[in-house]
């Protein structure tokens, strides 16, 4: 099996864990959240992104395409040869997903080592879902970074066999652990999967001494309500999970423009962000219940 594909190596990531970090976005995720703001990270194989606004209509891509699938982009007929990407002189076509050798990726991530050391930052492995990738690769990556003294955070949806957590646990600094919905049915409806594994993994990870930041994406009409906040708090207390931090992440639709670039439609168009006042209330609820390190934002 080919190694994982990397979508983006984002330097100066300042909302994905402590300090100044570099976030690696891996391609492919077991969930398909309605509101996903990185839709190019959902599927595992590489995909063509087409920027309509940059297209000059010159026709070079159509000339180059051996399958007659370039213009308009026909994703069924496309053979992924990349001729159109090379032919485009306007930057309207690019690949999402690129293979990286572990060694090269480590070198790229350690470029900002001095910033990590100054700021208490490091590397965050994200996605997509990093723990859904080839775990030999992920473990090697995390270990190499750890051995070089770089903090590694794992940003995860939790929906993977627990064994995968175990493999990175010795090298991970903090797990940025998403809790989307507490009700299994609703979870299935909005993300495509049941949440039993996610909750179970969270318990086990906590029991194994993992340092956890709970991250709650909050969306009006989906989970930005007292019921959800209460259910999260109940669960954490019942299972005696003491997160290092709780982050309340306000919904944003910054990623919606990427759907048409992938030839898809954003199904979350009707979603909305909760009000700042409500978020502040939710934060206070957490504080009141003893989760003293609760922040709005990442």
Partner 1 sequence: MAERQERGMNERIQRLRRQSTETQPHIDMERAVLETEAYQMYEGKVSVPELRALTLKHIFSHKTLYIGDGELIVGEKGASPQAAPTFPELCCHTLEDMHNMNDRKVVNFTVTEADLKTQEETVIPYWTGRSMRERILGSMTGEWKEAYAAGIFTEFMEQRGPGHTVGSVKLYEKGYLDYQEDIKAALAALDYQTDPEALNRRDQLNAMSIACDAIMILGKRYADLAREMAAECTDEKRKAELLQIAANCDVVPAHRPQTYWQAIQTYWFTHLAVTTELNPWDAYSPGHFDQHLGPFYERDVEAGILTRDQALELMECLWVKFYNQPAPPKVGVTLKESGTYTDFANINTGGVTPEGEDGVNDVSYIILDCMDELQLVQPNSNVQISRKNPRRFLKRACEIARKGWGQPAFYNTEAIIQELMNAGKSLEDARKGGCSGCVETGAFGNEAYILQGYFNLPKVFEITLNNGVDPATGKQLGPKTGEAKDFETFDQLWAAYTKQIDHFLDIKVRGSNVIEALYAKYMPVPFLSILTNDCIARGEDYNAGGARYNTSVIQGVGTGTIADSLAAVKYNVYDHKNFSMEELLEALKDDFQGHDRILHLVRDKTPKYGNDDDYADGLMKKVFNYFVDNVSARPNMRGGSYRVDMLPTTCHVYFGEVMGASPNGRLARKPVSEGISPEKGADVNGPTAVIKSCAKMDHLKTGGTLLNQKFTPAVVAGENGLDHMADLVRTYFDMDGHHIQFNVVGRDTLLAAQKNPEEYRDLIVRVAGYSDYFRNLDKALQDEIIERTEQSFAC
Give residues in contact with partner 1 (CB under 8 A): 7-8, 10-16, 19-20, 23, 25, 37-38, 41, 51, 53, 56, 58, 88-91, 111-112, 114-115, 118-119, 121, 126, 155, 215, 247, 249, 252-258, 297-298
- Residues 249, 143, 132: CA angle, nearest 5 degrees: 50
Minimum gap (Å) between residue 82 Cβ and partner 1: 14
Minimum gap (Å) between residue 47 Cβ and partner 1: 14
C-alpha to C-alpha distance for 255 and 259, rounded to whole angstroms: 8
Decide whether 17 or 210 has the Cβ nearer to partner 1: 17
Burial class (CB in 10 A: 0-12, 13-18, 19+), 141: buried
Minimum gap (Å) between residue 202 Cβ and partner 1: 18
C-alpha to C-alpha distance for 4 and 132, rounded to whole angstroms: 9
Decide whether 25 or 175 has the Cβ nearer to partner 1: 25
Decide whether 114 or 287 has the Cβ nearer to partner 1: 114
Minimum gap (Å) between residue 49 Cβ and partner 1: 9
Decide whether 12 or 136 has the Cβ nearer to partner 1: 12
Decide whether 68 or 297 has the Cβ nearer to partner 1: 297
- Residues 48, 49, 53: CA angle, nearest 5 degrees: 145
Decide whether 119 or 289 has the Cβ nearer to partner 1: 119
Report which DSSP code applies to 54: G
Tokens of 46: 């590489």
Minimum gap (Å) between residue 161 Cβ and partner 1: 22
Minimum gap (Å) between residue 224 Cβ and partner 1: 16
C-alpha to C-alpha distance for 212 and 293, rounded to whole angstroms: 12
Asked if the peptide bond before residue 211 counts as cis, ω within 30 degrees of 0, the response is no
Q: What distances in angstroms separate CA 168 from CA 8, 31, 202, 288, one per listed residue?
A: 21, 20, 14, 33
Minimum gap (Å) between residue 27 Cβ and partner 1: 11
C-alpha to C-alpha distance for 258 and 42, rounded to whole angstroms: 12
Report which DSSP code applies to 213: E
Decide whether 88 or 182 has the Cβ nearer to partner 1: 88
Burial class (CB in 10 A: 0-12, 13-18, 19+), 51: middle
């Amino acid at each position: 099996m080919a190694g994982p594909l990397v979508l983006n190596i984002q330097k100066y990531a300042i909302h994905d864990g402590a300090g100044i970090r570099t976030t690696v976005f891996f391609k492919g995720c077991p969930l398909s959240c309605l509101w996903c703001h990185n839709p190019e990270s959902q599927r595992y194989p590489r995909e063509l992104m087409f920027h309509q606004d940059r297209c000059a209509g010159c026709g070079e891509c159509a000339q180059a395409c051996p399958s007659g699938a370039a213009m308009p982009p026909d994703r069924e007929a496309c053979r992924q040869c990349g001729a159109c990407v090379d032919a485009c002189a306007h930057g309207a076509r690019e690949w999402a997903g690129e293979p990286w050798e572990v060694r090269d990726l480590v070198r790229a991530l350690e470029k900002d080592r001095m910033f990590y050391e100054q700021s208490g930052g490091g590397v965050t492995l994200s996605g997509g879902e990093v723990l859904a990738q080839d775990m030999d690769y992920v473990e090697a990556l995390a270990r190499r970074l750890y051995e070089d003294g770089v903090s590694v955070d794992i940003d995860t949806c939790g929906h993977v066999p627990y064994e995968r957590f175990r493999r990175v646990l010795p090298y991970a600094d903090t797990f940025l652990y998403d809790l989307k919905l507490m009700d299994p049915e609703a979870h299935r409806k909005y993300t495509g999967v049941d949440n039993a594994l996610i909750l179970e993994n969270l318990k086990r990870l906590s029991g194994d001494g993992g340092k956890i930041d709970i991250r709650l994406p909050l969306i009006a009409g989906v989970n930005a309500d007292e019921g959800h906040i209460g259910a999260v708090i109940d669960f954490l207390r019942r299972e005696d999970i003491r997160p290092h931090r709780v982050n309340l992440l306000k919904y944003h639709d910054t990623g919606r423009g990427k759907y048409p670039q992938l030839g898809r439609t954003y199904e979350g168009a009707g979603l909305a962000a909760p009000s700042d006042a409500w978020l502040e209330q939710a934060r206070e609820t957490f504080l009141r219940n003893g989760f003293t390190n609760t922040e709005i934002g990442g």
